[in-house]
Amino acid sequence: MTFSATIFSAHLDDAVLSAAAQLSRPRARVVTVFAGPPPASIDRTRWDKITRASSSAERYAERLAEDERAVAALGCASVRLPEPEDQYRDGELDQRELIAKLRPYLAESAEIWLPAGIGDHPDHALLRDAVLAALREGPAAPAVFVYADLPYALRFGWPSRATGVDNPPYLDVDFWINEELVACGFDRSQLTERVFELTEDLKRAKERAVLCYRSQLPALVLTPDDTRRWQSFFRYELAWELAVSGQ
């Protein structure tokens, strides 16, 4: 089967938070890379303590169930790789092995979507670099897009080029987004921006999916209690098409 789009997700919630518009397309697939269980030696990590988990093992099982419900809400295919995420690793990840594991998923899709790495999470950066390396080493690349990592890319709100409204008097969100992309290693001239304004139906579908991640939302400062931020979150998604010569 050829997928219309393969969306690579670092963790069990990233693709739904950042690229639900793509996951909702016919024959779309999410590949969650760092979806492996915590080792038995770990009781509770710092993040799992922040989110009030009883144990990392219990929270992992809960997050898998959350992700199952979220993916079902959007109706996309799902693959989870058994790589441990940063909080569960006790050493460096073998980048060459990761590239080899990702390569088979590239040939099965008309489009490849990967995180930009905004927010500086090590797993997002590892995944981004591994996918780009696999694309460079492979045959002719499909269309490649990098998506803005949400909610991290919303630190200052949506850029004016998404909303069509000027930046506030003392805040240039567009400049900050551009600086973040450069910090992530991208040549801005090789990126063509794509703004996806979510329809009412897609907003509702994404909200149903996002609400499945109840164990993570409070720590991400993303809950319906903050009405303004919550409603703003569902207005758009932001991505950039990467020129093949820029990979």
Answer whether residue 244 shows pLDDT above 90.
no
Say if CB 116 and CB 184 are below 8 A apart: yes
Domains of the chain by start residue, with CATH: 5-246 (3.40.50.10320)
| Model confidence at 247: pLDDT above 60 | no
Band the pLDDT of 91: cuts 50, 70, 90: confident
The DSSP result for the chain, as a single string, is --BSEEEEESSTTHHHHHHHHHHTSTTEEEEESB-PPPPTT-S--HHHHHTT-S-HHHHHHHHHHHHHHHHHHHT-EEEE-BPPPGGG-SS---HHHHHHHHHHHHTTBSEEEEE--TT--HHHHHHHHHHHHHHHHSSS--EEEEE--TTGGGTT---HHHHSSPPPTT--HHHHHHHHHHHTT--GGGEEEEEEEPPHHHHHHHHHHHHT-TTTTTTTT--TTSHHHHHHHTTEEEEEEEPGGG-
Q: Which percentage of the chain shows pLDDT scores above 70?
A: 97
| Confidence label for 1 from pLDDT (cuts 50, 70 and 90) | low
- Identify the pLDDT of residue 138: 81
What pLDDT, on the 0 to 100 scale, is given for residue 195? 98
The average confidence (pLDDT) of the chain is 96
Indicate the pTM of the whole model. Answer: 0.96
Mean pLDDT over residues 203-229, rounded? 98
